[in-house]
Amino acid sequence: MDLSYTPAEEAFREQARTWLSTNVPSEPLPSGDTKDGFAAHLEWERTLHEDRWSVVSWPRAYGGRDASIWEWLIFEEEYYRAGAPQRVTQNGIFLLAPTLFEFGTKEQQDALLPRMAAAQDLWCQGWSEPGAGSDLAAISSRAVRDEDAGGWRLSGQKTWTTRGAFCTHMFGLFRTDPQAQRHRGLTYFLVPLDTPGVTVRGFERLDGDEGFAEVFLSDVFVPDSAVLGGVDQGWSVAMATTGSERGLTLRSPGRFLETADRLVALASSNSDDLTDTLRDRITKHWMQAQAYQNFTLAQVTDIVEKRQVGARSSLNKVFWSELDINLHEAALELLGPMGQSDNPWSRGFQFSLAGPIYAGTNEIQRNIIAERVLGLPRK
Amino acid sequence: MRFSLTSEQQDLREAVRELMQDLCPAAVVRAAEDPYHSSIRTLDIAITALGASGLLVDTAHGGLGLDENYLVPMLIETGRAAAPLPLSETIGVSAGVLTSGGMAEALAAGELSCVADAAGSGLVRYGRADRLLVQGGWGGVGQICVFDLAEAEIVSVPAVDPAGGLTQITGGRPLFTVDDPQVVELAWHRGVLGASAQLLGLSQAMLAMTVGYVTERQQFGTSIGSFQAVKHQLASAAMAVEFAGPAVARAAAALAAGEGAPVVYVSTAKALASDAARQMARTAIQCHGAIGYTTEYDLHLFAKRAWALAADWGSAGWHRDRVATELGLLRSGTAPTH
C-alpha cells in the first residue's frame, strides 16, 4: 500500500484547486437539463476548455492535459469539492470519446475530439428505443446501404435520450444486417442532428426538467465516415466502453464523498432533528462513500497494473447508484416537511432515482455480477 | 498511489492459504470442540513455524518487524478457514502489550499463545491453562492487565459457535499491567482490525461455498443458481463483501503508517466487515435451503464464527456511533455499550 501521491500529482491537485476556486460560479447555475440552464452550462464548459480543464485525461493535441488516471481522479475530487456545475457534455466526453480513442480513425478523432472538448459539438447517446431498454440487443432502428451515395440511410426511433433536445450530435446503434439477430448485425453511427430527416422532441423527466428527448429518424443519409469501428461490429464497439459508463468515468468517488460530507454537515447543523436512528444511518452511508473511494483506488491500481476490471464495473454501478439514493433519502428525512420544496436535496433525490435505471438497470447489473463475476449459470 | 498488496504480502497470503488448505479443513474446525485435539496442535505448530507470532514484533526482539498490511492478508486466510485458534489475539493484540511487559522475545520465539478479553467480562474465546490472558483496554482506553492462566479457573461455556472455544475465566496470576495509552489504543485497534480481516475471510468462504452449491443443486430440472432470485441475493451479498475489503485494507494502512487518527478507518472497517459478514451468512443459509440449516453441512461453522466476530470487538452499531462522534454528530440518547 502506498497511499501517497507524487509531488507532481500533488502539484496538479493544487493547480486544479486554485483554478476551480477562482472560476467556479459563486451562484449555482440553473439546471443543465433545461433550455436556459443548458446555455449557462455551455458557457461554463467553454470556460473549462479555455484553460484545458474540460478533458484533463485527453492528449494535449485535443485540448487535454495528458493527465494520468490518478490525476483524473484527483481532478474529479477537487471538482466536486469545489461545488462545480454538472457536466452537460459528459455523454460525449465520458461515453463516446473512449470509444473514439479505441476504434475511431485518425480522421474521425481529429475531426470530432477537439470540437467535443470545446463544447462546440454536443453529443447525446442514441441507444435506447421504445422496444429496447435494458434489452439493448432488441434494437430495431435500421441503416440501409446507399451504394450510389456512398453511405447509409437511417430510420427508426430513439428515446429517453438525455439532453437530446439540446445536443447537436448523436452516437447510436442501428441494425445494418436485417437478417442478423440480436447482438449481430448492428453498427455504431455518428449522426449530426441537423441532418434532414431527423426530428427531435424533448420531454420531461421525473423531476420536471425537459432533460429527455425522442429522436425520430426518417431516411436520414450519413456518409461512410459516420461509421465508428466497422460495419456490423456495433455491439462489440459499444460494449468495449460500457465499463466506463458503469464504473469509473461516469461516477467517480469524488461526487459521493462530497454528497456524504454535505449530508454530515446538514445533520450537524440540524442536530435538533437528528435522532440516533438517523445518525446511525447517515454514518453508515458516509462509511459507504469512503468504501467506494477505497474500492476505486484498488480498482485504478488494477487498471494501471493491467489487471482486467471487466464485469466488475457492474459492482461499482450498483453500489454507487444505491448509495446515491440512500444519501439523499437520509437528507430528506432529516429535512422533514422542508424537504418538499424544490431544493438541492429534493432535486438530487429525484435525479438519484435514475441511477439504478440508466447504463443498464441494476437488475441487469446483478445478473452480470452473478454470472460474470461469481460464475453462476446463465440458464 | 498503489492500493494493493505488495508481492511479499501476496506471498505471505498464499503461504497461509496453502497451509490452511492442508491443515485446517472443516474436519479440523469441527475437532476444536476438544481444544487439545492433536489436529489443532499440529495447526498451531505449523502457523508458529511461519513466524506468525512475531509478525508485528520488532526485529530487535527476534520478530519479523512487519506491520498491519501483512496482518490483514494473513488473518483473511485464517478466517477463510475458520481456524479455531486465537491467532488475531496472539499475533495482533498481544504484540505491543507483551513488548511493553518485556515478553517480546518469548512471543516472537513462538513460546506464547494469548487470548483476549478487552471488555473485561471474563468471557473469553479459546481460554486454556497454557495461554496468557490479555484483559482490558475496551475502546482503546484504560489499562490492560496480562494474566498467566496456569492456575486460573477456566470453565467451558456452551456457545453458538461450536469451534469458538468459549470459556469463562476467573482468577489467573497477574503478570504485569500496561498503562501506556498508545500501547492500549494500538492493542484495541489491532483487535478490531483482526476481527474485521477474519470476517472478510469467513465471508469469502461462505460466498464460495454458496456459489458452488447453487451451481450444483438441481431443482425444477435446472441449477438453482440460474434463478434470478438466487442470483440477485448473492450479487448483493458479494457486493457488500467486495466493498468491505478495501476499507479493511485502508484501516491496516492507517495503522501501519502510524497515521494520526486511525479511529475512523478502523471503525469503518469493522462496521462494514461485520454487516457484510452478517448479510453473507444470512444469504448463504437462505440460498442453501434446508441443507444449510443443518450441522452436518459445514456452512454453519463459518456462519457461527462470523456472528461471534461481528458481535465482538465492537458491533457495527458501536463502531458507527464512534465514527458519528468523530464526524461531530451529536447523540441524543444512550450510547451503545458493545
Distance CA A304, CA A77 (A): 19
Q: A379 pLDDT band (50/70/90 cuts)?
A: confident
* Mean of per-residue pLDDT scores for chain A: 94
pLDDT at position A251: 79
Candidate from B231, B271, B332 with C-beta closest to A275: B332
- Nearest residue of A to residue B318 by CA position? A280
Contact B271 A3 (CB under 8 A): no
Tell me which chain B residues have a C-beta less than 8 angstroms from the C-beta of A290: 247, 250, 268
pLDDT at position B312: 97
Instruction: Return the SS3 of A356.
Output: coil
Q: Are A279 and B329 in contact (CB under 8 A)?
A: yes
Nearest-CA distance A23 → chain B (Å): 28
Nearest-CA distance A80 → chain B (Å): 20
Distance CA B175, CA A35 (A): 76
Distance CA B322, CA B242 (A): 23
- Over residues A66-116, the pLDDT tens digits come to 999 999 999 999 999 999 999 999 999 989 999 999 999 999 999 999 999
Nearest-CA distance B222 → chain A (Å): 8
pLDDT along chain B (338 residues), means of 10: 98 98 98 95 97 97 98 98 98 98 98 98 97 98 98 97 96 97 98 99 98 98 98 98 98 96 97 99 98 97 98 98 98 93
CB atoms within 10 A of CB A281: 18
Q: Are B236 and B207 in contact (CB under 8 A)?
A: no
- Over residues A293-306, the pLDDT tens digits come to 999 999 999 989 99
A98: Cβ contacts below 8 Å, ≥ 6 apart: A241, A244, A249
Q: Are B297 and B271 in contact (CB under 8 A)?
A: no
Tell me which chain A residues have a C-beta less than 8 angstroms from the C-beta of B272: 287-288, 291
Nearest-CA distance B319 → chain A (Å): 10
Distance CA A164, CA A215 (A): 7
Query: DSSP string covering A148-170, please?
Result: TTTEEEEEEEE-S-TTTTT-SEE
Across the range A343-355, mean pLDDT stands at: 96
Nearest to B47 by CA among B93, B6, B81: B81
φ and ψ of A33, to 5 deg: -100, 15
The b-or-e profile of A37-65 (16+ CB within 10 A means b, else e) is bbebbbebbebbbeebbbbbbbeeebbbb
Contact A70 B1 (CB under 8 A): yes
Across the range A130-148, mean pLDDT stands at: 95
User: How many CB contacts within 8 angstroms connect chain A with chain B?
Assistant: 154
Contact A367 B249 (CB under 8 A): no
- Over residues B83-100, the pLDDT tens digits come to 999 999 999 999 999 999
Q: Please, which residues bridge with residue A156 across strands?
A: A217
Distance CA B98, CA B115 (A): 12
What does DSSP say about strands A169-175 and A123-126: parallel, antiparallel, or unpaired?
Answer: parallel
- Over residues A259-310, the pLDDT tens digits come to 999 999 999 999 999 999 999 999 999 999 999 999 999 999 998 999 888 8
Amino acid at A329: E
Cell of A128: 435506447
pLDDT at position A246: 54
Cell of A12: 496538479
Tell me which chain A residues have a C-beta less than 8 angstroms from the C-beta of B225: 370, 376-377
Give yes or no for residue A245 having a pLDDT over 60: no
How big is chain A, counted in residues? 379
Q: Are B72 and B13 in contact (CB under 8 A)?
A: no
Tell me which chain A residues have a C-beta less than 8 angstroms from the C-beta of B257: 3
- Respond yes or no on whether ipTM tops 0.90: yes
Candidate from A275, A286, A319 with C-beta closest to B239: A319
Contact A283 B247 (CB under 8 A): no
Cell of A78: 477537487
Tell me which chain A residues have a C-beta less than 8 angstroms from the C-beta of B230: 376
Distance CA B309, CA B272 (A): 13
Contact B332 A274 (CB under 8 A): yes
Point out the least confidently predicted range of A35-39, A127-131, A142-146.
Answer: A35-39
pLDDT at position A309: 86
Strand order, beta sheet including B166-170: B123-125, B166-170, B153-156
Cell of B180: 501506556
Cell of A173: 446503434
Q: Is A309 on the interface with B (CB under 8 A)?
A: no
CB atoms within 10 A of CB B141: 11
Distance CA A119, CA A97 (A): 13
pLDDT at position B232: 98
Nearest-CA distance B139 → chain A (Å): 18
Contact A291 B320 (CB under 8 A): no
pLDDT at position B285: 98
pLDDT at position A244: 59
- Over residues B221-278, the pLDDT tens digits come to 999 999 999 999 999 999 999 999 999 999 999 999 999 899 999 999 999 999 999 9
Q: What is the pTM of this model?
A: 0.97
- Nearest residue of A to residue B251 by CA position? A294
**Residue whose C-alpha cell is 479505441:** A102
Candidate from A9, A318, A371 with C-beta closest to B239: A318
φ and ψ of B2, to 5 deg: -150, 105
pLDDT at position A278: 97
Contact A376 B222 (CB under 8 A): no
What angle do helix axes A253-269 and A276-304 make, rounded to 10 degrees?
Answer: 160
Q: Is A318 on the interface with B (CB under 8 A)?
A: yes
Amino acid at B248: V
Across the range A175-196, mean pLDDT stands at: 96
- Over residues A191-234, the pLDDT tens digits come to 999 999 999 999 999 999 989 999 999 999 999 999 999 999 99
- Over residues A21-47, the pLDDT tens digits come to 999 999 999 999 998 899 999 999 999
- Nearest residue of A to residue B322 by CA position? A283
Candidate from A3, A264, A365 with C-beta closest to B329: A264
What's the angle, vertex CA B207, arms to CA B206 and CA B213, rounded to 5?
A: 90
The number of C-alpha atoms within 13 Å of A37 and in the hemisphere containing its C-beta is: 17
Contact B242 A315 (CB under 8 A): yes
Nearest-CA distance A77 → chain B (Å): 15
**Residue whose C-alpha cell is 461455556:** B157
Q: Are A204 and A34 in contact (CB under 8 A)?
A: no
Across the range A330-358, mean pLDDT stands at: 96
Candidate from B228, B245, B333 with C-beta closest to A367: B228
CB atoms within 10 A of CB A170: 27
pLDDT at position A247: 52
Distance CA B127, CA B305 (A): 16
Specify whether A129 is catalytic. Answer: no
Contact B235 A318 (CB under 8 A): yes
Distance CA A183, CA A198 (A): 25
Candidate from A70, A295, A378 with C-beta closest to B226: A378
Distance CA B312, CA B271 (A): 11
Q: Is A320 on the interface with B (CB under 8 A)?
A: no
**Which residue is catalytic, options A45, A77, A245, A258?**
A245
